[in-house]
Structure 1
Amino acid sequence: MTRTSTCIYHFFVLSWYIFIIYYIYQLKVDIQKQSILPKGQQWQYATFINLFLQTIFYGVACLEDVLRRIKGKKDIKFITAFRDLLFTSLGFPVSTIIFLLFWSLFLYDREVVYPKNLDYIIPVWLNHAMHTSILPFSLIEVIFRPYCYPQKKKGLSILTIVFLAYISRLLWFYSQTGIWLYPIFGKLSPISIAVFLSISYIFTIGTYLLGEKLNHWKWGDMRQLRKKNK
């Protein structure tokens, strides 16, 4: 992509995510009236957290695009480094694992992840906006924009900390309310839950490694390239 087209694309995706979040916010009253989701807790779902994550990332990407045109590469190294770290460590892995887990469980038994009564409130297009389009957007970033991946230990550590923090929050919520945010956990034994979470973690790490491989395949070793350009 050229600089101009990249800037336009990032602004478009940023606007899209802002619109989705706003639309969901408008739906929350209907969702609570139907008692479909625990009151006030809809924003704790990984799907919604990812929407905020992607919004932040594309906001940073837009800022980097604009500053790059105004100041040049050397004066915005911090913004570029933060953009790269945000996308490589969280943006790509989180969107990819949500896509994979959601649709795998949905095809297996939608009631354990997205009950059918949600269809009466959440439009089909919104479901795809939250769970489908997130992957193509991330893949486009990998294919059309080079990213400098951090040291594997650093990137995986960030992803692991976020994963464990979310699982801790999930378990804390259950301990306080007796309600699982995700219906699937209500059908599993404690051991099965541990196995499920362990497998989810392995797949999450796999998505990080996949993004790294795709980026290296398309753009080569960006760390070495940037060292040479210093």
Structure 2
Amino acid sequence: MRLKDYLQPVLAFPVALFVGATFWGLYAIDRELVLPRAVDPYFPWWLNHIMHSNIVLFSLIEMVICFRKYPDRIIGIGGLTMFMGSYLIWTHVVFYKTGEWVYPVLNKLGFPLRMGFFGGLLCFASVWYFLGEYINNKVWAKELEKIEKKKQ
């Protein structure tokens, strides 16, 4: 398996869509949960869109213009879960060292809700993985058929 056939489907695509959807969803509910107004002088609107909008757009464009052979699901979901778990651990390390949550929304949640929130986010990220696999299989059906014929 080529590295590009692993990184884009397992990490880049689902994480980009996860970040975009989660950020803008929470922003629509209450922007203070993810990007307090106090940071506006240091974090302009255009930079916010580069970080939270463009990643979605460019991941979708890459999905359509670059062929990828998705890894087996267990490998793909396992890699995504390990990445998300590592990021979750890092979020807790930052909290432990600084006493501040990286994302203000975490200040609003007690322990049980925070655990449920993290579990829900992991499921949400997995949905993006499956969506990417579905889109890839539709867009690149002919290439995937060629690969299957070569195996036989």
Matched, 1:164 2:88: no
Q: CA contact under 8 A between 1:149 and 1:222: conserved in structure 2?
A: no
Q: CA contact under 8 A between 1:149 and 1:223: conserved in structure 2?
A: no
The equivalent residue for 1:207 is: 128
The equivalent residue for 2:5 is: 84
| Aligned partner of 1:104 among 7, 25, 49 | 25
Matched, 1:116 2:58: no
Q: In structure 2, how many angstroms separate the alpha carbons of the residues matched to 1:170 and 1:179? A: 10
Pairwise CA distance, 1:175 = 2.0
Q: How many residues align?
A: 151
Q: Which has the larger radius of gyration?
A: 1
Instruction: Please give the root-mean-square deviation of Cα atoms over the aligned residues, in Å.
Output: 1.6
Q: In structure 2, how many angstroms separate the alpha carbons of the residues matched to 1:214 and 1:118? A: 36
Letter of the aligned partner of 1:176 in structure 2?
K
Map 1:1-230; keep pairs closer than 5 Å: 81-220=2-141, 225-229=146-150
Q: CA contact under 8 A between 1:99 and 1:135: conserved in structure 2?
A: yes
Q: Deviations over 1:106-150 (max 9, x none)?
A: 010111100112211222111100100111101111112221000
Letter of the aligned partner of 1:142 in structure 2?
M
- Which secondary structure does the structure 2 equivalent of 1:96 belong to? helix
- Higher RCO, 1 vs 2 (CA within 8 Å, ≥6 residues apart): 2
Pairwise CA distance, 1:87 = 0.3
Q: In structure 2, how many angstroms separate the alpha carbons of the residues matched to 1:121 and 1:105? A: 20
Q: CA contact under 8 A between 1:185 and 1:193: conserved in structure 2?
A: yes
Q: In structure 2, how many angstroms separate the alpha carbons of the residues matched to 1:136 and 1:123? A: 20
Mark the runs of 5 or more structure 2 residues left unpaired by the alignment. none
Q: Deviations over 1:23-51 (max 9, x none)?
A: xxxxxxxxxxxxxxxxxxxxxxxxxxxxx
Pairwise CA distance, 1:176 = 2.5
- Which secondary structure does the structure 2 equivalent of 1:193 belong to? helix
Pairwise CA distance, 1:197 = 0.6
TM-score for the superposition, normalised by structure 2: 0.92
Mark the runs of 5 or more structure 1 residues left unpaired by the alignment. 1-77
Pairwise CA distance, 1:199 = 0.8
- Which secondary structure does the structure 2 equivalent of 1:212 belong to? helix
Q: In structure 2, how many angstroms separate the alpha carbons of the residues matched to 1:132 and 1:166? A: 20
Q: CA contact under 8 A between 2:137 and 2:144: conserved in structure 1?
A: no
Q: CA contact under 8 A between 1:105 and 1:113: conserved in structure 2?
A: yes
Using the aligned pairs only, state the percent identity: 34
- After the TM superposition, which segments of 4 or more aligned residues of structure 1 sit over 4 Å from their partners? 221-224
